[in-house]
Amino acid sequence: MYAADLDSIRAAAERVRPHIHRTSIVTCGQLDTLAGRRLFFKPENLQKTGSFKPRGGFNAVALLSEAVASRGVVTHSSGNFAQAVAWSAQARGIPAHIVMPSNAPAPKVAAVRGYGARVVLCEPTLAAREATAEAVAAATGATFLHPYNQAEVIAGQGTIALELLEDQPGLDAIVVPVGGGGMISGIAIAANALKPGIQIIGAEPFGADDAWRSKETGVRQPQLDPRTVADGLRTALGTLTFPVVRDLVDRIVRVTEEEIVHAMRLMWTRTKLVVEPSGCAPLAAVLSAEFAGLDGLDRVALVLSGGNVDLDRLPWS
């Protein structure tokens, strides 16, 4: 029915396990007190390449046949998926072509090149990125990997839920940042299969709330001029991720820019974890007035999606 299922997610877990970190749950009594419930943080900021993205990226790369893989892979990304694909291709020993916008932060471009990938710069528009990636694929024979709207990627991201429920089987809810929806889709599919009744809650900025609008209307909505410090959450839901969000995600909690920055400060100062704004959206959601009104959620997991912060552009500088 959906792009992935529990079997494909379990297979992805076996596939990626030798190559990624199994991130250990972190707790913080001060944040528990602020939230009024037990919080369990899944620190994917400590994952390979600094985000959850290698789970899906590596799974997609690993599933390519030898003949197809030898021609390489291509994707377009200005951030975490770019690094994930570059790293995954390097691990398999195949070429990677990463299309990045010309205004991408220099440290991210350098990181992608550091993993051995070829960077192809283009104009900073989605249309230019897609057209350039298509041209690179045509010229090289490389296989295009989508950052979130691809079954193998969704299955890989779902491995987060397997680990969470192995470590904390008594969870009442999992709160996940929502951008393109690949991570929350994989988590929702796995968690609902393993523990029916668990709440899956998305955290999304008011300034990039296509998932909330899509869930409210029952129709996939476009992302309209997204404006948020959480740059990883500016992407719209895909054709594969929207049905999962519609059917298996219980609610989307929207948060303000001020709430995201406040949560980021708390995360850095109370847990000593360097988490990017997108990864702090779940804490912002859990501390919000809307979440305070949700009963029966005493043990809540929060996925800290990444830690690739531009230290020259901190939101409180």
From the list 42, 48, 53, 215, the catalytic residue is 53
Question: Annotated catalytic, 8?
Answer: no
Answer for the pair 241, 202: CB distance below 8 angstroms, yes or no: no
Nearest to 180 by CA among 258, 80, 247: 80
Q: Which two tokens stand for residue 233?
A: 């959450």
Q: How far apart are CA 207 and CA 20, in angstroms?
A: 33
**Contact criterion met (CB below 8 Å) for 173 and 280:** no
Active-site residue flag, 53: yes
Q: Which tokens hold the place of 100?
A: 């990045």
**What is the residue type of 218?**
G
Catalytic residue among 51, 78, 185, 305: 78
The token duo for 128 is: 């230019």
Q: Is 173 helix (H, G, I), strand (E, B) or coil?
A: strand
What letter represents residue 78's amino acid?
Answer: S
Beta carbons of 146 and 59 less than 8 angstroms apart:
no
d(CA 64, CA 41): 33
C-alpha 225/C-alpha 117 separation (Å) is: 30
* The pair of three-digit structure tokens given for residue 18, joined into one six-digit string: 């030798």
Q: Bridge partners of 15? A: none
Active site (catalytic) residues: 53, 78
